[in-house]
Structure 1
Amino acid sequence: MKTILAGLALLFKTTLLTLLIATLIPILYFTWQMSQPLPQPEFKGLSYYQFMEWRKMATEDVIAKYIVSHPSFEYKGIGEPITACYSGVVFGGYIFLPAQALSYTFASMAGVMPDELHAVPTGVTLLNFMPKWWETFEYLFWYNEIHLDSFGGLVEFCRLQPNIPTPEEFKTMKLEHQIITRN
């Protein structure tokens, strides 16, 4: 009886360790990839993290300018205006798009071919699954941010100009933004 319990305990521990590794590897892989420059020329060499930070700073600037130019403006939404303008981008970029890219990558392994509406990768195997998943995520991110012109925004005070900076311009912009927000 002790041998059976010891065997079950070992099986349970092995299963938990496998699940932990299976969860951590994609998170660590995406975390690393998000720090690398995005390959599409529209992102001008920014990494995913830099682009998202630029987008947040640009949104804060647009809201501030809108409030100054509209003195009678009263925000009647939930939370701050930045939350209304930026929370969907964060949800999509960190939750929805990785899950959508994962489903497309799994679909490719099942033999589904890409079409006009679905960016299903091709040639996915177990050995290249993570890079193909990341490539699919990058494409979906580019498609949603650049191709669909998501800078327009439905709410007037959320509309950005798609003036994506280079990494050097981003560093300067980030320093200027930090100085302005401290004052």
Structure 2
Amino acid sequence: MGRFLLELLKIVLVTALLLVISFGVWIYFRGTQPMDIPEARGITFWQFIQDRWNATQEADTRVSALPQYLGCRNDISYYFPLNLRGSFNFAYASLNPDSKLAYAFKYWEEQKPDEVLPKLKPVNLSGVPDAFWSYFERAYWRALVSIDYMAAECKLGPVNFDGILAGK
């Protein structure tokens, strides 16, 4: 009996590892495609993240020189778990439009409309990855570009499209 449970545990762990690896490969692949945001001008998600990372480093260098500031928070790392969870929730709500979670998304779409985040619409199982990715990339765009004005001294500034598009 103990040997059977050990083998079952191995199968579960290998399956979980394969799922995590395939999810990582999928995220990498989707990040190499142009963003589905008109303001992004066709840059890829990874180009966008690289630009924001460089802007974060510049802002941190600039702000660290000021005596009253310790430095800037890296919002790319900070928003990753939040955007990941939000994307899973949005994908679930899209798949189950009658769930409480879907009603919560619809409530906020009506009460505080946001032109950057995608609108909830019912999808079938094959549309869940697109719903997930749409929310994920748009949530990052919203956090790192649209509401970056709230960062005060740590503001990242506009996306360097000239530098990104010249590198293509």
Deviation at 1:45, TM superposition (A): 2.0
Alignment correspondent of 2:90:
104
State the alpha-carbon separation in 2 of the partners of residues 164 and 45 from structure 1.
Answer: 13
Give the SS at the match of 2:122: coil
State the alpha-carbon separation in 1 of the partners of residues 14 and 67 from structure 2.
Answer: 52
1:149 aligns with 2:142: no
Deviation at 1:5, TM superposition (A): 4.7
Point out the structure with the larger helix share. Answer: 2
Task: After TM superposition, list the pairs within 5 Å mapping 1:28-43 onto structure 2.
Answer: 28-43=25-40
Residue 26 (structure 1) aligned to one of 18, 23, 26: 23
Q: How many residues align structurally?
A: 154
Deviation at 1:29, TM superposition (A): 0.8
Worse overlay, 6-15 or 57-66: 57-66
Deviation at 1:25, TM superposition (A): 2.2
Deviation at 1:101, TM superposition (A): 0.7
Alignment correspondent of 1:165:
161
State the alpha-carbon separation in 2 of the partners of residues 101 and 43 from structure 1.
Answer: 19
Alignment correspondent of 1:178:
none
Alignment correspondent of 1:131:
130
The question of whether the paired residues in 1 share the 8 Å contact of 2:53 and 2:76 is answered with no
Once superposed, what is the RMSD of the aligned Cα atoms? 3.1
Q: TM-score, normalised by structure 1?
A: 0.66
User: Unaligned 5+ residue runs, structure 1?
Assistant: 173-183
Q: Which of structures 1 and 2 has the bigger CA Rg?
A: 1
> Sequence identity of aligned pairs in percent?
19
Structure 1: which amino acid aligns with 2:67? E
State the alpha-carbon separation in 1 of the partners of residues 53 and 125 from structure 2.
Answer: 36
Alignment correspondent of 1:49:
46
User: Unaligned 5+ residue runs, structure 2?
Assistant: none
Q: TM-score, normalised by structure 2?
A: 0.71
The question of whether the paired residues in 1 share the 8 Å contact of 2:90 and 2:135 is answered with yes
